[in-house]
Amino acid sequence: MNRKLGYGAALSLVVGNIIGVGIFTTTGFMAQYIRSPLIVVLAWLVGALYALSGAIVYGILVKHYPLSGGDYQYLSRAIHPFTGYVFGWSCFFVTYSGSIAALSIGAAIYLGGLLECVNFKAALISIPFLSFELSLTKVTAIVLILIFSWINLQGIMISGRYQIILTATIFIFLLLFSFAGTISSVVNFDFLLVGGEIETSISGFFTALVAVLFSYMGWTSAVYVAEEINKAAKTIPHILLIGVLLVGFIYLWTNLVYLIAVPLENMIDVVNVAAIVSTKLWGNEGNIIISGFVFIAILSSLNSTILSGPRIYMAMGRDNYFYSITKKIHQKYYTPANALMLQAAWCIILVISGSFNQLLSFVVFIAIIFSILAGLVSFYKKPQRLWQTMAIIFYLAFCTMILINTLWQRPYESIIGMMIVGVAIPFYFIEQRRRRNLLKDDSFDQLTN
């Protein structure tokens, strides 16, 4: 029985992990810093080029290392095990788990809005100096984490089918939304040529661009499950490029509809831009429909993130990190069972604590450093074609600019992020000592036997 994802499921994993809530909200944030609609379009185009260059970088890496675990494998094997360990550690404790917690909370909020649920609060733990409150939103988020973790435990083919359905639904919706919006009688293409009284600064452009880049994040999802994709070394580089091109196309078209439907100045600091555009185009019914599809988009990202994360921890378990707990494969479903369960447990803790948003903001700087290291590894592999080399240089230059801008704009968060990741250092040396003892014990057993 073939237990590997085919082309369609792998492509849906890439597209579904990129398309999240960002396309529905980011333009409102951008409007605070960019006052020209055409520059907004330019920012989304630059973001697409960045994602495309990143897809080329990771396409080169997966050809050399067609192994599950993605960056953990590349950084460990090409640079040093320490870099891979720190990457995996930060994924489990902050980035991946924090993203899952944030996505589940977002999905719960949209679901609550759709069902017009009224939040309630109930004490989960109530002892002196320690008290947690569990709202209906958090309960729903926890249930979603458990449901999708259970789906992914059933096998990659099952989770792959769910991913195809979710991704196809949201992508087709965005196509229909963009087409219907473009031909609507209420849009005004002259809005594209209207500029604000305040000029866009270079710093403001880069600040807005960071939000765009995060809306494009997620193209790497397929590399983390490389061993479970048919002909990974050939298939993954192709689906990374096609996936990013598809998302870039629909992102640009969707934003064009935003900008011809509502003046940019009316979007300033608006969280759900898609909602006000839909209300303008189709009334209150359009707002309800948008909320439903935002919910589906979040579920798509949630499923793909829950799917790919445990493969990192499984790869670490194989190397005897995480006390080898995460290397266990389910005997029936061939999924990283322990890694999935540990990830779900930690995500639930983050949901209850509500601290994941702060954690995520602190590790942006570190995440960019890992991206630069991955780009350097791909450059070290000496790509065969000139356009690949140019893409790597563009990717590295762009990541470096974002790194400098992040350090300049958020020095406090950057320093805290380095301190949070620095907690991994003593654990690395503890685990290294344990691994050496295991190797000594294995060698002794072989000699005595």
| pLDDT tens digits for range 417-445 | 888 889 999 999 999 888 887 766 555 45
Residue showing tokens 């924090």: 98
Rounded to whole angstroms, how far apart are CA atoms 391 and 393? Answer: 5
Rounded to whole angstroms, how far apart are CA atoms 376 and 17? Answer: 24
Question: In the predicted model, what is the mean pLDDT of the chain?
Answer: 87
pLDDT at 420: 86
Closest CA to 8 of 243, 223, 241, 225: 243
pLDDT surpassing 70 at residue 143:
yes
Other beta carbons within 10 angstroms of residue 56's beta carbon come to 26
Cβ-contact 318, 27 below 8 angstroms: no
Would residue 323 be called left, alpha or beta, if left means φ above 0 and alpha means ψ between -120 and 50 degrees? left
pLDDT at 120: 47
Tokens of 43: 């920012």
Express each pLDDT in 7-46 by its tens digit.
999 999 999 999 988 888 889 888 888 888 999 999 999 9
Question: pLDDT exceeding 70 applies to what percent of the chain?
Answer: 91
Parallel, antiparallel, or unpaired: how do β-strands 121-127 and 130-135 relate? antiparallel
pLDDT, average across residues 347-363: 81
CA distances from 257 to 29, 126, 229, 260 (A): 17, 50, 36, 5
Residue 31 exposed, middle or buried by CB count within 10 Å (0-12, 13-18, 19+): buried
Rounded to whole angstroms, how far apart are CA atoms 108 and 294? Answer: 11
Rounded to whole angstroms, how far apart are CA atoms 273 and 408? Answer: 28
Rounded to whole angstroms, how far apart are CA atoms 424 and 119? Answer: 37
What is the SS3 assignment for 133?
Answer: strand
Rounded to whole angstroms, how far apart are CA atoms 206 and 224? Answer: 29
Question: pLDDT exceeding 90 applies to what percent of the chain?
Answer: 53
Closest CA to 4 of 159, 147, 149: 159
Tally of helices (H runs) and strands (E runs) in the chain:
18, 2
| Cα of 386 vs its chain's centroid, Å | 29
What is the SS3 assignment for 444?
Answer: helix
Rounded to whole angstroms, how far apart are CA atoms 109 and 123? Answer: 20
Express each pLDDT in 292-341 by its tens digit.
888 999 999 999 999 999 999 999 999 989 888 999 999 888 999 999 99
pLDDT surpassing 60 at residue 117:
no
Rounded to whole angstroms, how far apart are CA atoms 53 and 61? Answer: 13
pLDDT at 197: 54
Closest CA to 186 of 262, 272, 287: 262
Protein fold of 7-357: Amino acid/polyamine transporter I (1.20.1740)
Closest CA to 300 of 442, 123, 424, 173: 173
CA distances from 137 to 109, 154, 253, 340, 406 (A): 6, 26, 33, 22, 32
